[in-house]
Amino acid sequence: EEWKDRGAAVSIQRHVDSNGNQTHRIVKKGVQDFNFGRTLGEGSYSTVLAATDRQTLTEYAIKVLDKRHIIKEKKVKYVNIEKNTLNRLGDHPGIVRLYYTFQDERSLYFVLDLATGGELLGFVKKLGSFDEECTRFYGAQILDAIEYMHSKGVIHRDLKPENVLLDDQMHVKITDFGTAKILDIPPQTRASNSDGKPQLDRQDQDFANNIGIPDHERANSFVGTAEYVSPELLTDKSACKGSDLWAFGCIIFQLLAGRPPFKAGNEYQTFQKIVNLEYQFPPGFPAVARDLVERLLVLDPTKRLTIENIKSHPFFEGVLWGKQLWKQKAPRLK
Ligand code: ADE
C-alpha cells in the first residue's frame, strides 16, 4: 500500500508477530528500494539514472544531486525551487511527475517519471525538421502543459527542445524546473520603483544577473539558454508568463525550420539578434505557421498572443484541446 505526502511517498508495511498481532510501520522510500541502471543524462550538479522500484518493478528516472557541490556553488535555493514547483505541478500528463524525494549523506534523490523517448531535441536533430502535422501535435501538447503550469503560478523560464522529453507513447513530458519562477503575489499588487517600472523580486534578479556573463565567471551560473531567452529578460531583467510563450514561438520555428530563429557565434551576438528581432524564415516555411510565429516573437510581452489566442489560431485548427489531446496517438515522426 502506498500513499503520497507532497511528493514524498511512503509505504505501509504490515507485520504479524508470532502471537498473530498486527503492527504497521510507515517506511519512507530510500536508495535501498531501487535498482539503479543506465545514465539518462548529466547536468552540472546532477545525474539522471534509470531505476526500478524493487517491490513494484515500476521504472523511474532518478535525478541524483551532489549535496557538497550544490552547497559549494550556492545552488540550494534552486534545488528547492525545483522540488517545490514539481510538487505544485503534480497532476498533468505533460509534466514530469515527482514521486518521491529522499537523501543520504552524499546526495539528494528526486524520483521522476521515466520518459523513455528522451529529448525532443534528439528527434529534431535526427530528422532535420518536422512536418506541419507533427509540429501541430507536439506544439499543442507543449502549449497544453504550459497552460497548466501557468494556471498553477509557475513560469518555466527555460523551455527548449532539450527540456521537452517524450514518454513511451511519444507524448510530451516537460522537465527541468530548476530555473522556474513561482508566482506567489499577484503581479499587479507588486511595488513599483520611482521610475514606474515594477521592482524586481529576488528570483528575477538572480536569474537576470547571470545572463551575458561567461560561465566560469558567474557567481550564480544558472541562465536560460541563450537562443530561447526572451527580450524582456535581456532589457528589463524580468520574466513573465509571456516569456514562456516567446520560447514556445522559438520552438515552433525550430521544429519546422530545423534550427532556432536566433542563433549566432556566441551568446552576446545571439542576445543582440533577440533584442533587435533579427531573424528570417527559411524558404518554404508554411504561411499559417509563419503568421503564428510572427505573433509570438513580438518584443513587447504584453502584445504577444495569449494562450487562448494561440489555441484558436488557424495553425492549430482541428486540435482537440484538454484531456482528449493526451488520449491521441502521436503522429509518426517522418
Ligand atoms: N533525462 C533527464 N530526465 C529524464 C527523464 N525523466 N526520463 C528520461 N530521461 C531523462
Supply 82's cell numbers.
Answer: 525545483
pLDDT given for residue 199 in this prediction: 55
Report which protein residue has its CA nearest ligand 1's atom 3: 48
Q: Kindly give the number of the ligand 1 atom that is closest to the alpha carbon of 112.
A: 6
Percent of the chain with pLDDT over 90: 78
Catalytic residues: 158
Asked if the model's pLDDT at residue 220 lies above 80, the reply is no
Q: Please give the C-alpha separations between residue 308 and each of 20, 43, 236, in angstroms, as whole numbers.
A: 61, 34, 26
- Per-residue pLDDT averaged across 33-48, rounded? 95
What angle, rounded to 10 degrees, do the helices at 287-296 and 241-257 form? 150
pLDDT given for residue 6 in this prediction: 45
Nearest of 266, 176, 274, 188 to residue 233 by alpha carbon: 274
pLDDT given for residue 186 in this prediction: 53
Evaluate: CB of 229 within 6 angstroms of ligand 1: no
Q: Please give the C-alpha separations between residue 205 and each of 75, 225, 236, 272, in angstroms, as whole numbers.
A: 15, 17, 10, 20
Evaluate: CB of 325 within 6 angstroms of ligand 1: no
Identify the burial level of 192 via C-beta atoms within 10 angstroms of its C-beta, where 0-12 means exposed, 13-18 middle and 19 or more buried: exposed
What's the pTM value of the predicted model, to 2 decimals?
0.87
Q: Kindly give the number of the ligand 1 atom that is closest to the alpha carbon of 96.
A: 6
DSSP per position, 182-212: E--S-GGGS-B-TTSSBPPPHHHHHHHHTTT
pLDDT digits (tens, 9 = 90+) for 66-119: 999 999 999 999 999 999 999 999 889 999 999 999 999 999 999 999 999 999
Gap between the Cα atoms of 208 and 158, Å rounded: 12
pLDDT digits (tens, 9 = 90+) for 141-170: 999 999 999 999 999 999 999 999 999 999
Evaluate: CB of 49 within 6 angstroms of ligand 1: no
Nearest of 223, 221, 265, 230 to residue 251 by alpha carbon: 230
Torsion of CA 81, 155, 261, 293, to 10 degrees: 160
